[in-house]
Structure 1
């Protein structure tokens, strides 16, 4: 009986290992799926974010527009004109669109009715460099990157702040806390749904780091994730990290590259999951928005 039990246990262990292996080896892209052009003709697309219904919003920053792609109607239209030169976007739990609006160096909240509220526009009395990208934790805390990119619509030609930092806006707070100040030029940012890990890309040093998130929102345990930078980032439900620039490069949670999605454009700026099932990858690249059906789903 003991020998039989050991034999059956060995078979069960082997089957479990094979199932895990097959799950890991399964392509994250849906079988037969090809990259689809959703819309083009813009000047430069950025900041894709999906609302609670899976509709995808993205920015055409040079033209100061926020564009909406209605997934059910399969149509694209201008959601807002004059959006503060919004760049990175993210929806909060109340379906407000939180936007990095660098025209006036602000983080703003856009309601479903298109009412705008300025959440923050300075750090310790100095103008921000130009909020670029953000991630919202489950408790409503907001992390944002603040690199300096000289814009043609600015009067100023130099930053007020000495460094290019990452900030945290605690729930209910009206002032920022600096959480990272040692990166060259922070850009892409994304956190895990459990609120424990934050990924930040240093586009100025061609690296992406991971951090541990504390209960008070502070960051610790800085660790090199990959020797690659990113403009915008997202995650899927398996914990894979999607990095943009030269198309979309996907790494597992251990930093091993598992996929490269080629985009026939000079630059791929950002990426998110959308659609009703959150199983379509939406990609902003140069003047266009692309989509790709996936075997994995996005997370909050």
Structure 2
């Protein structure tokens, strides 16, 4: 996603903290989120997703734009991007320590893991998709399509067959986040798990941003961040043996809300990073089947993206502007998403 002026002002206030963040466990700052009533139930179904008395906790702060969280189950750790600081961070569940995972990081944005548990990353600066091997080396999986470089790969997900899908919006140029001027309109690409070939799954999209598959992988949900007049959540059917998309349908008009990255739980609900100011900042939980928001988790700053972590995938981890938050939930995230 793009870094807003409001987020930039918030980040400026956190730079002093950020400068101390390589000093080990002192980086962590576990406190309750600064909001009086963090949970808003809009539908009875929300009671099956969260405990009525749950409160988000701030685990760490001092980032400039936290994005792209991914849970690494083998390490009991969360890796996420701090785009404007050109680094990737790591939060350790066992110790609570936060440390630099990689710097420089080519202005990394979205992250996922593949079927072998390897980290796969969208990079703005190199306009590429990379994979971190088990030995720590980095392999470039894709950087061009039909002879043209990508714009600025944004978010990414891996399906059960090993294919990698990612969004490539036309958000640049934005040198602060490593984005060059776009080469094409917004698109979704697929990397074949066997040949490594890149195909365009969908083109001419208005700012494709977050993306996530339904639990059965029959549908792909995408945030259209440049839709007019509001951001939209759209659904595509996955066809042709899991290789193409068809039948675009709008499932939710975000109104004043700024949807960004999102994840899916085992019941099929979408957990969306949300922004737009006080009363909107946080996480929106949406039923795609009914096209309604069933609840909202308020945070004191805009949430860009999130992940389900912990051994039971019921620890909601939220990358929100300058901070990382966590909250235990009843819902269970889909493994590997």
Structures share fold, TM-score greater than 0.5: yes
**Contact 2:238/2:244 (8 A) holds in 1:** yes
1:238 maps to 267
For residues 216-242 of structure 1, give each alpha carbon's deviation from its aligned partner in whole angstroms, at most 9, with x where no partner exists.
Answer: 410112111111262101011111001
Could you tell me which runs of 5 or more consecutive residues in structure 1 were left unpaired when the two chains were aligned: 1-21
Indicate the larger mover: 289-298 or 53-62. 53-62
Mind listing any 5+ residue stretches in structure 2 that lack a counterpart? 1-42, 276-281
Deviations 1:157-190 (A, max 9, x none): 53222x1111111112333211111321110100
Larger Rg: 1
Q: Is the counterpart of residue 48 in structure 1 residue 73 in structure 2?
A: no
Normalization by structure 1: what TM-score?
0.87
1:7 corresponds to: none
- TM-score after normalising by structure 2: 0.78
1:90 lines up with 2:119 in the alignment:
no
- Which residues in structure 2 correspond to 1:284-295 (within 5 Å)? 284-295=319-330
Query: Cα gap change, 1:157/1:241 in structure 2, threshold over 3 Å: closer, same or farther?
Result: closer
Residue in structure 1 matching 2:50, options 6, 20, 29: 29
Q: Distance in 2 between matches of 1:187 and 1:143?
A: 12
In the alignment, the residues of structure 1 paired with residue 236 and residue 100 of structure 2 have an alpha-carbon distance, to the nearest angstrom, of: 36
After TM superposition, which residue ranges in structure 1, 4 or more long, deviate above 3 angstroms?
Answer: 22-25, 153-157
* Cα distance, 1:74 vs structure 2: 1.9
Contact 2:58 / 2:326 at 8 angstroms: preserved in 1?
A: yes
Q: Structure 1 residue 117 and structure 2 residue 142: aligned? A: no
Check conservation: 2:84, 2:177, Cα contact below 8 A.
Answer: no
Match of 1:261 in 2: 297
- Counterpart Cα distance in 1 of 2:179 and 2:237: 35
Aligned to 2:182: 159
RMSD, aligned α-carbons: 1.9
Give the 3-state SS of the residue equivalent to 2:175 in structure 1: coil
